[in-house]
Amino acid sequence: MNERTTPPDADVAGQDPTRPEGAPRTGEPLISVRGVDKFFGDFQALKGIDLDIHRGEVVALIGASGSGKSTLCRCLNRLETITAGEITIDGERLPEEGRELTRLRADVGMVFQSFNLFPHLKAIDNVTLGPRKVRGVPKAEADRQAMELLERVGLADKANSLPTALSGGQQQRVAIARALAMKPKALLFDEPTSALDPEVINEVLDVMAELAKAGMTMLVVTHEMGFARHVCDRVVYMDAGEIVEEGEPEQFFTAPRSDRAKAFLSKILAH
């Protein structure tokens, strides 16, 4: 994908332009998770999760299959209810339901493994649907913003294509543009490249790295350890519904503290 030379987009919500690189994070976290438990019947999928994500922070969420990564993401924008604990987004507690929930949910965009584009809508119409229907943005304005976003993900020339005419990597980039169109304060990515052919994984990771550089607040569930290590500010490692360890990527990958993280890393980095 093309090297981008444009300066970071000042329009990205959730960024913290005042914090010098490497300076400690201060102030209210954008996303705060406190003592969150999640049960499916008798099965406890999340066990006392505490997690803060600050403005502009990019956090990799990693762990074995079934450890609760997707469940945590889904709880963060209330696609799942929580059994106990509290989640706040930008200081506001996520309500159980109602119009307030719709508003707060739109603050946190989500990008899934399966792109979930509407197959009968052109790329641009997939991007404008949310702003028009949920935010009431007039068509001309929504189209203009969508073109800017498609440009940003390198797909301005595909605006009028149907999803079936796009590669998996292109569809996922449309899905990212669609999430950005709602002007979210943070983005959650749940294995955004897992369904992609190897040769298009990087074009999606490049777009994500650009967003990270522009200051977007992101939580990324990924098996792409290079991305976790080189783009993310922090790695959070989950096992069996718990956060077992978290730390700076370099420290986590070179000197994990817990036996569980050591065992996990030796398995995934062995080949």
Ligand X SMILES: Nc1ncnc2c1ncn2[C@@H]1O[C@H](COP(=O)(O)OP(=O)(O)OP(=O)(O)O)[C@@H](O)[C@H]1O
Contact positions vs ligand X (CB under 6 A): 40, 43, 45, 63, 65-71
| Residue 217 interacts with, from ligand X, Mg ion, none (CB under 5-8 Å by kind) | none
Instruction: Specify whether the CB–CB gap between 70 and 190 falls below 8 A.
Output: yes
Minimum CB separation from Mg ion for residue 13, in Å? 26
Query: With respect to Mg ion, which residue has the nearer C-beta, 63 or 109?
Result: 63
Query: With respect to ligand X, which residue has the nearer C-beta, 184 or 241?
Result: 241
Residues 112-151 contacting Mg ion, CB under 5 A: none
Minimum CB separation from ligand X for residue 49, in Å? 11
Spatial separation of the C-alpha atoms in residues 271 and 118, rounded to whole Å: 37
Query: With respect to ligand X, which residue has the nearer C-beta, 13 or 236?
Result: 236
Minimum CB separation from ligand X for residue 5, in Å? 36
Instruction: Specify whether the CB–CB gap between 36 and 82 falls below 8 A.
Output: yes
70 near Mg ion, rule: CB under 5 A: yes
| Residue 35 interacts with, from ligand X, Mg ion, none (CB under 5-8 Å by kind) | none
Minimum CB separation from ligand X for residue 219, in Å? 13
Report the Cα 42 to chain-centroid distance in Å: 29
Range list of H helices, 22-121: 69-76, 99-106
Instruction: Specify whether the CB–CB gap between 212 and 218 falls below 8 A.
Output: yes
Minimum CB separation from Mg ion for residue 210, in Å? 24
Q: How many residues bind Mg ion (CB under 5 A)?
A: 1
Minimum CB separation from ligand X for residue 214, in Å? 27
Q: Which residues, including other chains, have CB under 8 Å from residue 123's CB and lie 6 or more apart?
A: 117, 150, 155, 158, 159, 160, 161, 162, 163, 166, 174, 177
251-260: long-range contacts (C-beta < 8 A, 24 or more apart)?
A: 253/225, 253/228, 253/229
Query: With respect to ligand X, which residue has the nearer C-beta, 65 or 164?
Result: 65
How many other β-carbons are positioned within 10 Å of the β-carbon of residue 139?
Answer: 11
Query: With respect to Mg ion, which residue has the nearer C-beta, 71 or 145?
Result: 71
Spatial separation of the C-alpha atoms in residues 61 and 57, rounded to whole Å: 13
Query: With respect to ligand X, which residue has the nearer C-beta, 43 or 270?
Result: 43
Where on the chain is the footprint of Mg ion (CB under 5 A)?
70
